[in-house]
A and B are shown apart, each in its own frame.
Chain A
């Protein structure tokens, strides 16, 4: 009798446990069933399989100094594979990764529809958020770092599809100084109000350039999120920033003393206000001919490109 009672009790307990664990990630239709499997092999291989409903996302990353990674995404309606390799041994490898991200994004651009890439990016984002808090993952490892390149590729395609423009990716400067993983600035969202609060609370006294940043944050304080490229553009335009990265990379590669009198090279070297930066009248490459407070006000107002007649053709902040 006692044995039967204990058996019934154990059976009921197991049944409840199984029912509870199954209900945790499953809704009635079973559409939102999700699971994450992580397989690690020493420090040279990482495999993450994420399943959600019809979606299967497989991230693989292997190697030590030269890391090859891929993401395969498949569902009932679509399939996509992104590939990325990175050679950490090569000089200044970080300075060219944004171009390689763009190259892969452009390759895949016509292989997916707008709806598919939006769905894929949501799944990828969900996986990313889960992994950041997962104790099984070392988020600073080189193997996992590749995950961010695939994120950038997918988001670049998504932005291109939504905006109907070429893929674009301005690298987050934090990546170059090991303060952040790879992100396209356009995808990195910040809450301007919290940023502003952080600056105010820290009692930091901004210099003349930084005051423009503070003013900008105040002007967008009511937005819940803004992409960080808008903030960085207050200090330096995207084109000037990318030009600077290219210059540093080519300098590193050539490793030559700059003795040329070539004017264009000098323009890149001199710390002059560029023709496409805020405050310079007009928008052109090279150093600024003439700067004015009027043009600074004009550039500041033209951040949103409205009204179109008031801003320069093509509407760039410069």
Chain B
């Protein structure tokens, strides 16, 4: 049995996407400049970016290993969430 179940993977992906969504909202709308928020943001963002890429690869490996693609909703949703999240976060680095 795998260490990370499809359900766990789904929640991890959701958490990562939620974190980057918060960063986006804070940068463009909330603009909160707390010292602790800045501290966490600076320390956590880069590792989470690396984890996001890892989860993106893992989610698709899971997806393609499924025999019946429609049988596991968690796995499908995982792929959709992490794809959108990875595309937007990594993609934004290339927009000048």
Contacts and interface: CB of A to CB of B under 8 A. Distances in A.
Contact of B46 (A294, A307, A308, A309): A294
A93 interface: no
Nearest to B24: A309
A174 B85 CA distance: 47
A271 interface: no
Interface string A294-308: 110111000000111
A292 B27 contact: no
B93 A307 contact: yes
A295 B28 contact: no
A313 to B, nearest CB: 5
Interface in A260-296: 281-284, 289-290, 292, 294-295
B39 A298 contact: no
A311 B31 CA distance: 12
Interface in B37-84: 38-39, 41-43, 45-47
Contacts of B27: 308-309, 311, 313
Contacts of B33: 312-314
Interface in B1-59: 20, 23-24, 26-28, 31-33, 35-36, 38-39, 41-43, 45-47
B35 A298 contact: no
A282 B42 contact: yes
B43 A294 contact: yes
Contacts of A313: 26-27, 31-33, 38
Contact of A312 (B24, B38, B93, B96): B38
A310 interface: yes
B interface secondary structure, majority? helix
A281 B42 contact: yes
Interface residues of B, number: 23
Contacts of A310: 23, 45, 92-93
B6 to A, nearest CB: 29
Interface residues of A, number: 21
B38 A282 contact: yes
Contacts of B28: 308-309
A281 B23 contact: no
A312 B41 contact: yes
Contacts of B43: 281, 290, 292, 294-295
B92 A284 contact: no
A297 B46 contact: yes
Contacts of A281: 38-39, 42-43
A309 B92 contact: yes
Contacts of B23: 309-310
A290 to B, nearest CB: 7
Contacts of A284: 35, 38
A298 B26 contact: no
Contacts of B38: 281-284, 312-313
A298 B47 CA distance: 10
Nearest to A313: B33
Contacts of B45: 298, 310
A282 B92 contact: no
Given A298-B46, A307-B95, A314-B33, 20 more contacts: A281-B38, A281-B43, A282-B35, A282-B38, A283-B35, A283-B42, A284-B35, A284-B38, A289-B39, A294-B43, A307-B92, A307-B93, A309-B27, A309-B92, A310-B23, A311-B27, A312-B41, A313-B27, A313-B33, A313-B38
Q: Which 7 A-B pairs have the closest CB atoms?
A: A282-B39, A309-B27, A307-B92, A282-B38, A313-B33, A281-B43, A284-B35
16 contacts: A281-B39, A281-B42, A282-B36, A283-B38, A283-B42, A289-B39, A290-B43, A294-B47, A298-B42, A306-B93, A308-B27, A309-B20, A309-B28, A309-B92, A310-B23, A313-B26
